[in-house]
Amino acid sequence: MDSRVSRLLSALKSGGYEPRIFCVVDKVKHSQSLPPSPDYNLCFHDGSGYFRRKVSLKAHFVPSQPRAALSTPKPAVASSPPPSAQSAQQAWYKLLAGAWLWPKISYEALIAPVSDFSPDIIHANDLSTLAAGVRLAKEIDCKIIYDSHEYENSRNLAAPLPVKWLHRRCEGRAIKAVDYVLTVSETIAAQLKQDYKIKKPAVILNTPENSAQVQPRLGRVKNKNDKISAVCIGAVQPSRGYEQVISALSKAPDVNITIIGKGSQDYIDHLRSLALFCGVLDQIKFLEPVAHHQLKEKITIFDFSIIAIQPSCLSYKYALPNKLFESVDAGLPVLVTPLPEVEKFVRMSKCGVIAKNYQTEAIVQAFENMKSFLTETRPHISLKPPYKWTAQKSKLLNIYRALAQNEQVEPFNLLPHLTQSDIDEILSA
């Protein structure tokens, strides 16, 4: 299950709601879907004959408030996102057909179980659930929240132009029919406001839920000649900076890297081949992803974390990724590329080193700077209160409470790492 959806589910339960996830899955491939659980329904569709998607569907969910808490008691809902058009191998017209038909297919899979649930609020995660969610909310007569996990108009592994045009048209029409919009960074919120002339979306960060305290490794690197170990966490896919990091290792023989995450076997084989070519295969280890509640303890054995995302699209340029917060929450310094919000956050938090640019040479220099950071600075690293999950949960529950009581949601302050002039500058660059 998507970690953001899982956290939202937990937050809504703690707030007295009764959330239910509705996950739209291919009935032919449902054996690869989520295991049975009282928290969600599997809603089957048959997309064959139109298109066959090759990526699994992300869960998309629905919360519901206890009847005693509402003046007009109805539960609340959130839906589940289908796959994005990422398969570059598919002909563009197949992707276009899939994007065009998906709202109808997902709506037909959802209408019966969601109607039976009778939600007060539909929480549509990502663009892939938005159109169906809006239609369901209109028919059921309930509120709807759109939760944009990325900037959909410019994503990594971009779809062909006709599909991008259709996605933008769909989002532009549907977003004005929702009751509230959430997203994951201040710059994406500002861009959505600018694109569609809507109220600024609220930012619910992808920060980890509170977990058991663990002892980070800070202080164990005594001098610059010591070997240091780094971790890369998250999806193993293009534009995450893996090529630049691996190439930089050839000039940093005292740095070892462990990559924890899921990726296609072809891409992992490509990275292994690059490491072999660069003569650094013995400095790299690949591990399978671990459960989110186990990640913090798993990564504290490392000296620092690497987040080398490349600005290959606006969604990445505007990113404030969960791996950043997961690393800082575990007490790890971070080595980051100069993505605008990430750079501002690291400077404010004094939690790591920022590469001068996105190239291999800058990563090499950043490795040297990290050695100094570890041996000379020795900071205490932790998330500040506005970035902890407790703050995000409070924001989320305030939004739900206001919508359930037909009240206006009060606007939220900017997160402290940015000013409005910073945002204006980033968007105009």
The percentage of residues in the chain with a pLDDT greater than 70, rounded to a whole number, is 79
Does 291 or 92 have the greater pLDDT score? 291
β-pair type (304-307, 40-45): unpaired
Quick one: pLDDT band at residue 41, thresholds 50, 70, 90?
Answer: confident
Nearest-angstrom CA–CA distance, 76 and 67: 10
Q: pLDDT (tens digit, 9 = 90+) per residue, 187-211?
A: 999 999 999 999 999 999 999 987 5
Residue with more model confidence, 100 or 54: 100
Percent share of the chain, pLDDT over 90? 66
Helix extents (H) in 75-160: 92-117, 127-140
CA proximity to 148, closest of 191, 102, 88, 97:
191
Amino acid sitting at position 324: L
The pLDDT confidence band at residue 163, using thresholds 50, 70 and 90, is confident
Find where tokens 């402290």 sit.
416
- Residues 6+ away with beta carbon under 8 Å from 214: 296, 297, 300, 330, 331
Q: What is the pLDDT of residues 44-84, one digit of tens each?
A: 765 544 433 332 233 333 444 433 333 333 444 444 443 33
Whole-model pTM above 0.75?
yes
Asked if pLDDT for residue 421 goes beyond 80, the answer is yes
Ramachandran class of 133: left when φ > 0, alpha when ψ lies in -120 to 50, beta otherwise: alpha
Q: What is the pLDDT of residue 335?
A: 98
The string of pLDDT tens digits covering residues 338-378 is 999 999 999 999 999 999 999 999 999 999 999 999 988 66
pLDDT surpasses 80 at 182: yes
What pLDDT was estimated at residue 237? 94
User: For the residues 232-244, what does the mean pLDDT come to?
Assistant: 96
pLDDT, the chain, mean: 85
Is 90 exceeded by the pLDDT of residue 104? Answer: no
pLDDT at 83: 39
Top pLDDT among 148 and 216 is at 148
What is the structure's pLDDT at 117?
92
pLDDT for the residue numbered 54 = 30
The better pLDDT of the pair 307, 71 is held by 307
Question: What is the identity of the amino acid at 295?
Answer: L
223-249 core/surface letters (b: 16 or more CB in 10 A; e: else): eeeeebbbbbbbebbebbbbbbbbbbb
The average pLDDT across 411-426 equals 96
Pairing label, strands 20-26, 61-62:
antiparallel
Pick the range with the lowest mean pLDDT from 32-46, 211-225, 413-427. Answer: 211-225
Please tell me the predicted confidence (pLDDT) of residue 46. Answer: 58
Going along the chain from its start, the domains and CATH numbers come out as: 3-207+391-404 (3.40.50.2000), 228-377 (3.40.50.2000)
Provide the pLDDT for residue 218.
Answer: 54
Is a pLDDT exceeding 60 seen at residue 91?
A: no
Mean pLDDT of 230-259: 96
Q: Comparing 88-97, 105-114, 322-331, 364-373, which segment has the lowest mean pLDDT?
A: 88-97
